[in-house]
Structure 1
């Protein structure tokens, strides 16, 4: 979720949630709705699993302007990878879909800035 300042203030005001700072998004971890926990087995569920984070698909994620440089680098990396001639059609399709997701995040951030 791309958060504006008002939503961010509201989320920070809640004493129930703990903010976990991340590179692509911050996480207001709630084990009941955490997408990362749904992908894992044998976990205690007390902390987010940042390696499994999908910030565009998790209601706990908060993407702000501070995260824009990392998303921008991801878009550049995907664009560079698409220039590689040895990608299989399946790999090319996957990278293109990921680039579309990244560009949607960047567009959302740019509308809020």
Structure 2
């Protein structure tokens, strides 16, 4: 049987690696696995580079229903920008990829939450 003290100790340990942001939770347990640190060329850091995080590709990031509105807003904004006649073709390609990523995160978040789209 797990005691309250054991749960408290587990939560304290996990709290030291949990970093909250508007779009995801970062479980910064292993700096060597952090995508942004890899891209920045460093394998060690005391904290994640959350402002530069690409949480949809990082193995230490998780998305939850509380983050859904951020991803929905991003997807909606991408649709508006893609419809713009002044957006250059190369930028539209980048926006399409970003939109697809946002939609994938929304679908995965909804699936994990047991919510049908």
Q: Deviations over 1:35-80 (max 9, x none)?
A: 1111225796111001220111111101111100100000111011
Q: For 2:27 and 2:98, how far apart are their aligned partners in 1?
A: 24
Q: Normalising by structure 2, what TM-score?
A: 0.78
Q: Which residue of 1 aligns with 2:64?
A: 64
The worse-fitting range, judged by mean Cα deviation, of 34-43 and 94-103 is 34-43
Q: For 2:106 and 2:82, how far apart are their aligned partners in 1?
A: 19
Q: Which residue of 2 aligns with 1:78?
A: 78
Paired residues for 1:39-50 under 5 Å: 39-40=39-40, 45-50=45-50
Q: Which residue of 2 aligns with 1:53?
A: 53
Seen in structure 2, the aligned counterparts of structure 1 residues 81 and 31 have a Cα distance that, compared at 3 Å, is: same
Q: How many residues align?
A: 102
> Which structure would you say has the larger RCO, counting Cα contacts within 8 Å and 6 or more residues apart?
1
For the aligned residue pairs, the C-alpha RMSD in angstroms reads: 2.1
Q: Which residue of 2 aligns with 1:25?
A: 24
Q: Normalising by structure 1, what TM-score?
A: 0.80
Gap regions ≥5 residues in structure 1: 1-11
The worse-fitting range, judged by mean Cα deviation, of 84-93 and 42-51 is 42-51
8 Å contact from structure 2 (residues 32, 43) kept in 1: no
Q: For 2:95 and 2:70, how far apart are their aligned partners in 1?
A: 17
Name the one with the larger helix percent.
Answer: 2
Q: For 2:39 and 2:61, how far apart are their aligned partners in 1?
A: 16
Seen in structure 2, the aligned counterparts of structure 1 residues 48 and 67 have a Cα distance that, compared at 3 Å, is: same
